[in-house]
Structure 1
């Protein structure tokens, strides 16, 4: 038995983006016509216009625009704002589907067994949780090397057990979350050539200190940041300041994978 659910986004307490409306918007983008889009979905022409009017009235910016004139007599287009909404909805839909798949794996509604369903709502204390794409999976006898690529294009490796790879169904081109503690993050000056494994380059953009420890936030590109916690004296020895270029090192065994 599988679980299913429609994804609906509300605005001002009213349904805003529903799966049927998303289909309509894609059809408008394809055909440039409300009437043709309504037939493709399908829905009545009246229902299509009512859906478009409702979305436009609830949205802070127009989603659908009607053009008049021109050699073809005008048409209907999706605005730049509307196109971005379609992209954002696709991301949410993917996560929604992934959640339902995982929920189905943990649930046996016929027997009433719900296994460890509480894990879906679990939060973890590890400060660093970075989105990455799986480039390749290299299986060994017991462990597996997961080659990952950040949004910035920089690459690094995580080593987890083969059993974990199978349990999480980790495959190439998937998006996963790399998880590691701030205490496992080492920082080196770029001029230090001895640090090669899992080296990610970045720029220090924030430093917070107390009497003993310093929390260093490093921008690694494309709005991703990594946090390292180190003794204050180590920070001073490296002469790190905000704006300093650094290399971030995380041992492969210290990087967990989440989906």
Structure 2
């Protein structure tokens, strides 16, 4: 038994983007004609125009535009705003599908077993949760080595169990989250050429202190930030300040992978 659900986005409390309307928009983009698009979906010509009028009315900008003139007597086109909506819906649809797949894995409808379903709503206390793209996946013995490319172009290496690699179905070009605690991040003002740890370059953007410890925020590019927490006496020896250039080091074994 499988779980299924339609993805619908609402605007002003009314259905805005439904899967059938998304199919219609793609058909309009392909055929350049509302009549041809309606046949391709399929739906009636009247229903197609009613759907288009509803979307245009609810949207802050036109999604579909009727053009007149030209050698073929005009046609119907998707605006730049409409094309961006299609891209955004595709991203949401992909995440929605992944959620349902994960929900199916954790649920046995027939036996009524829902014991592990709470994992889907779990929040993680680790302060560092950074999105990256899987560059490579290599498994050896009981461990797996995952190389990630961050949004700013820098790379992180994570060492997890081979079983975790298989359970997560990790593969190249997949978007995942690198997760690690703030207290496993070491900061340095110089690069250690002999170090085998992850070393990510960045700039200190904020420093917060209390009686015993210091929290340092490091901008590593493209709006990604690494948080490091260290004892106050160690921070004082480093003489760090805002806008200082630093190296953030994290051992590969300390980086978990989520998706």
| TM bucket, shorter chain | over 0.9
Structure 2 residue runs without a partner (length 5+): none
Give distance in 1, aligned partners of 2:244 and 2:179: 24
Shift of 1:161: 0.8
**Structure 1 stretch displaced more, 214-223 or 82-91:** 214-223
Residue 68 of structure 1: CA displacement? 2.6
Change in Cα spacing, 1:233 to 1:7, as seen in structure 2 (3 Å) is same
**For the residues of structure 2 that align with 1:122 and 1:33, how far apart are their CA atoms?**
46
Q: Cα deviation per residue 1:210-254 (whole Å; 9 max; x = unaligned)?
A: 233222222222222211112334334333222222222111010
Question: What does 1:1-259 align with in structure 2 at a 5 Å threshold?
Answer: 1-190=1-190, 193-195=193-195, 197-259=197-259
Secondary structure of the structure 1 residue equivalent to 2:132: strand
State the distance in 1 between where 2:245 and 2:46 align: 59
Normalised to the residue count of structure 1, the TM-score between the two structures is 0.93
Cα gap change, 1:89/1:154 in structure 2, threshold over 3 Å: closer, same or farther? same
After superposition, give the CA deviation of every residue in 1:131-183 in whole Å (9 maximum; x if it has no partner).
Answer: 11112211111111111111222111111111111222222222211111111
Secondary structure class of the residue paired with 1:160: strand
Distance of aligned partners of 1:217 and 1:96 in 2 relative to their CA distance in 1, 3 Å threshold? same
Does the 8 Å contact 2:28/2:76 carry over to 1?
yes
RMSD of aligned residue pairs (Cα, Å)? 1.8
CA–CA separation in structure 1 for the residues paired with 2:157 and 2:130: 13
1:89-144 deviation line (CA, Å, top 9, x unaligned): 11111111111111111111112222411111111111111111112211111111
Q: Is the contact made by 2:191 and 2:247 (CA closer than 8 Å) also made in structure 1?
A: no
| Aligned residues of 1:180 and 1:255 also touching (Cα < 8 A) | yes
Greater mean alpha carbon deviation, residues 5-14 or residues 165-174: 165-174
Shift of 1:194: 4.9
In 2 relative to 1, CA 77–214 (structure 1 residues): closer, same or farther, beyond 3 Å?
Answer: farther
The answer to whether the Cα contact below 8 Å between 1:195 and 1:249 also exists between their aligned partners in 2 is no
Whether the aligned pair in 2 keeps the contact of 1:204 and 1:244 (CA below 8 Å) is yes
Provide the rounded CA distance (Å) in 1 between the counterparts of 2:192 and 2:64: 54
Q: Is the 8 A contact 1:38 1:45 kept in 2?
A: yes
Aligned pair count reads 259
Unpaired segments ≥5 residues, structure 1: none
* Cα distance in 2, alignment partners of residues 71 and 55 from structure 1: 28
SS in 2 for 1:55: helix
- Alpha-carbon spacing, 1:78–1:207, altered in 2? closer, same or farther (3 Å): farther
TM-score (norm 2): 0.93
